[in-house]
Structure 1
Amino acid sequence: MSQPWISGNKFALLENGEQYYPRVFEAIAQARREVLLETFILYEDKVGKALHAALLAAARRGAQVDVTIDAFGSPDLSEEYVSSLTAAGVRIHVFDPAPRLFARVNYFRRMHRKLVVVDGKLAFVGGINYSADHLADYGPEAKQDYAVEVQGPIVAHIRSFMLSAIAEGRTGRRWFSWRRAHPSVAPSPPVGEADALFVWRDNRDHTNDIERQYRLAVRLARKRVVIANAYFFPGYFFLRELRKAARRGVEVSLILQGNPDMPIVQTAAAMLYHHLLRGGVRIYEYCERPLHGKVAVVDDEWATVGSSNLDPLSLSLNLEANVMIRDRQFAATVSASLQRLMRDSCRQVEAADLKEWPTWRKLRSYFLFHVLRRYPYWAGRLPAHAPRLAPLLPAETAATDKLDKIDKQAFP
């Protein structure tokens, strides 16, 4: 079932932790009724501790606070960290708390979303986790990333989605009334001119919604497409849309990792360079620091920000969430940010830069063609467990710490 576009919204682009964390923590500090937060990674560093303080204060003021974390992405929270939150009434939900003996077995189909809703009136959507490596003072490995602050009627849709995800994960039932525990909040009145579509990927009813919206936007492009994505290895049909757009005169630019946090990421993307360059797509490698963003802008009107990469994990396995935005002012803001990135911090990849044996390139292209054409089918054959959330309690944290120590000793 397709989701509706909602009008009357306002968006503000937030770049990196320096802009994102102060706005989120300020919003939580003003919460009076409810804070909903989902994240893949929550570390107990200076960012995680600042979040802890904000959530603790909100709960003590009487707000209902629900925090959902991924078991794989956030495994190392101490008993003290958890117990102080739960004692104040914070409910911490752990996605896919699979047993881990000597190695982590719950790597695939992770809860990769990064969402916040405060009092049903203000939301944040993006790719920024709660960890110090999203701040510039972390050093050369600090990530380049984006999120958006959201106001307007679309916030009610994001809130409804988050409450439904908690209900389904805790009860196993797809339709569940949260009216008693969570009184309904009237949708915000129109506050801006932006149309918005909240889109997510799950393993049941919305398996390809994010990719479908990307492909539709590229298919309708008339002037330019700029995509900045950290982990780029999309399927055959996505690549075909990019090449078709470039061949009809659209300026198609990709900003990919040139200083990757994981070398295999750049290696995988580079395997597509010949195919894309021959099709007229421009490729820029961001070399200043690791790129973690998942943003795009098309022409002068459409943009997206969210958690979804353009790789097999995000497009076929993980639980993701993006917001699609139709607004000229916001699109201009995103475009200006990405143009600055390309101008000041990227190197453009040219065909002459790619030195390869032609026969190997042909063999590799043949192999990639069939892999990319079929991987959505193969991914669909992997086990797709139902979303499962479990409350994280202090005693469980202590047991998890012991398992983590075993993990690290066996797999340093």
Structure 2
Amino acid sequence: MNPGDWTSGNRLQLLENGEEYFPAVFAAIEAARKEVLIETFILFNDEVGRALHEVLRRAGERGLRVVITVDGYGSPDLPDAFVQSLTAAGVEFRYYDPRPRLLGLRTNALGRLHRKLVAIDAGIAFIGGLNFAEDHLRTGPDSKQDYGLRIDGPAAAHIRALIEATRRDLALPRQAPWRLGRRRQGPPQTQSQDGAVRLIWRDHEHHRDDIEVDYRLAIRRAQREICIANAYFLPGYRLLRELRRAAQRGLRVVLILQGMPDQVLLRWAASQLYGFLMAHGVQIYEYCERAFHGKVAVVDEDWSTIGSSNLDPSSLALNLEANLVIVDRRFNALLRERLQGLIREECRKVLPAQLPRRTLLRQLASYLVFHFVRRYPAWARRLPTLRRRSVAAEVEAPGPDSP
């Protein structure tokens, strides 16, 4: 079994925001019989984190194999009591690349475990952009718009294999033959396209640009419409060129980007691309209801993707990421309908008259910022760092305030 192969016959359920995603995950864990595996960038000791803690603790006490890996940068401040009460119940709790702070500052911001994956009993899995934090609830303090997906079927085993590979520090091989694996966009003609999906991911070994390549191929082969909704949009020249060419071919090309950014520099750098893209016919909408955290796209009726990868330098060149590519017309129509509703009700269209006048100083500043942000992953990879890996948590015995 190669986790990068196409599978068919999967049942897919779109889950929008934490109100739909978290109850679905928790119910699946409660119904699990053998195993629960989780990877997440952020796990907080808040309303959502404590709810996850409780269902995992109960699963461990039922004798299930339970493994959760959190990122050492995204989840650095969990109380020892929170972790130890899970390990006492038999849960294997792991950190990806934990580092000590230097003068109170985190020193491990680059090359993070940014995936959000859940695998249950090898037949059920979840993927998307949602962390286990109340920020993904509409009532949360920094509420975000986001998307997740439940998969019932053979693709769940591929997600399980990817989680296990990270846990065991294994590099999954390329598809063979390599050139065919890179060029194959859709499932084989002999395979049913009902619930056809393929797992794509980014790692530090053989799959460094797979997600970006799949985006570019999908855009290049589009016939009618491209809709990309992404929280952090600062792709490289080749992806920008494919979007420009698609718009020049007469396709409807739509971007849904952040209107209320939580990373101002990235948003400003992305906005410097607006004029270039709009001049060639690309339509840009900014989501302004709250922060946008989604990482989804729909191309025609035949292709969509959902997962953890932004279209920015960190996701495309540094982090561990995972997306699912979907060839299922019913699901793609539903996702397209949700995105069109977002455009109608909660977005504003960026108009050419709203763009700032391109003075020489502004053009120079945008050029420098764009190229700095685009190139810092190449510089970062040259920094002397310890080998990043997943390690078991080490905590002290629980105190009286254990959850």
1:106 aligns with 2:108: yes
In the alignment, which residue of structure 1 is the partner of 2:17?
A: 16
**1:302 Cα offset (Å):** 0.7
Note the alpha carbon deviations across 1:273-325, whole angstroms, 9 max, x for none: 11111121110000000000000000012110000001111011111110110
CA distance, structure 2, for counterparts of residue 60 and residue 275 of structure 1: 57
Instruction: State the alpha-carbon separation in 1 of the partners of residues 79 and 217 from structure 2.
Output: 44
| TM-score computed with the length of structure 1 as normaliser | 0.87
Relative to its length, the structure with more helix (as a share) is 1
Asked if 1 retains the 8 angstrom alpha-carbon contact of 2:269 and 2:369, the reply is no
In the alignment, the residues of structure 1 paired with residue 276 and residue 76 of structure 2 have an alpha-carbon distance, to the nearest angstrom, of 39
- 1:29-75 CA deviation, whole Å, 9 max, x = no partner? 01111000000000000100000000011111110000000011011
Contact 1:236 1:369 in 2 (8 A): no
Instruction: Give the whole-Å Cα distance in 2 for the aligned partners of 1:123 and 1:98.
Output: 30
State whether residues 134 and 140 of structure 2, in contact with CA within 8 Å, keep that contact through their aligned partners in structure 1.
yes
TM-score relative to the length of structure 2: 0.89
Q: Does 1:346 align with 2:347?
A: yes
2:123 corresponds to which residue? 121
How far apart in 2 are the matches of 1:322 and 1:210? 7
Given that 1:229 and 1:292 are in contact with CA atoms closer than 8 Å, whether structure 2 keeps it comes out as yes
Q: Deviations over 1:211-266 (max 9, x none)?
A: 11011111111111111100111111111111011000111100000011232232
In structure 2, distance between residues paired with 1:362 and 1:397: 57
Residue 347 of structure 1 aligns to a residue in which SS?
strand
What amino acid is aligned across from residue 115 of structure 2 in structure 1? R
Cα distance change on mapping 1:249 and 1:381 into 2, 3 Å = farther
Structure 2 gaps of 5+ residues are 173-190
Task: Tell me, yes or no, if the aligned pair for 2:225 and 2:251 is still in contact at 8 Å.
Answer: yes
> How many angstroms apart in 2 are the aligned matches of 1:213 and 1:356?
35
C-alpha deviations, 1:360-385, integer Å up to 9, x for none?
Answer: 35435655776688666545545575
Offset from partner CA, 1:67-87 (integer Å, 9 cap, x none): 000011011111211111000
Residue 147 to residue 2, structure 1, CA distance change in 2 (3 Å): closer
* 1:51 match: 52
Q: Aligned partners of 1:347, 1:259: CA distance in 2, in Å?
A: 12
Pairing of 1:32-181 with structure 2 (within 5 A): 32-102=33-103, 103-139=105-141, 141-168=142-169, 174=171
Shift of 1:167: 1.1
CA separation in 2, counterparts of 1:45 and 1:369? 36
* Contact 1:10/1:191 (<8 A) preserved: no
SS of residue paired to 1:147: strand
Distance 2:20 2:127 in 1: 13
Q: Structure 1 counterpart of 2:123, which letter?
A: K
Instruction: Report if aligned partners of 2:94, 2:391 keep a CA contact under 8 Å in 1.
Output: yes
- Alpha carbons of 1:280 and 1:361: their partners in 2 closer, same or farther (altered >3 Å)? farther
Aligned to 2:187: none
Look up the match of 2:175.
Answer: none
Provide Cα deviations, 1:134-155, integer angstroms capped at 9, x if missing partner: 101125x300000100111111
Helix, strand or coil: the match of 1:340? helix
Q: Which residue of 1 aligns with 2:388?
A: 387
Alignment root-mean-square deviation, CA: 2.3
* Amino acid corresponding to residue 111 of structure 2 in structure 1: R
Give the corresponding residue for 1:184.
none
CA contact (8 A) 1:52 1:85 kept: yes
Determine helix, strand or coil for the equivalent of 1:355. coil
**1:238-317 equivalences in 2 (<5 Å):** 238-317=239-318
On the 8 A contact 1:236/1:373 being kept in 2, the answer is no
| Cα displacement (A) at 1:389 | 1.5
Give the 3-state SS of the residue equivalent to 2:238 in structure 1: helix
The amino acid that maps onto 2:101 is R
> Structure 1 CA distance, aligned partners of 2:228 and 2:8?
24
Q: Please tell me whether the aligned partners of residues 203 and 384 of structure 1 are also in contact (alpha carbons under 8 angstroms).
A: no
Displacement of 1:156 in angstroms is 1.1
Q: Separation in 2 of the partners of 1:14 and 1:191?
A: 24
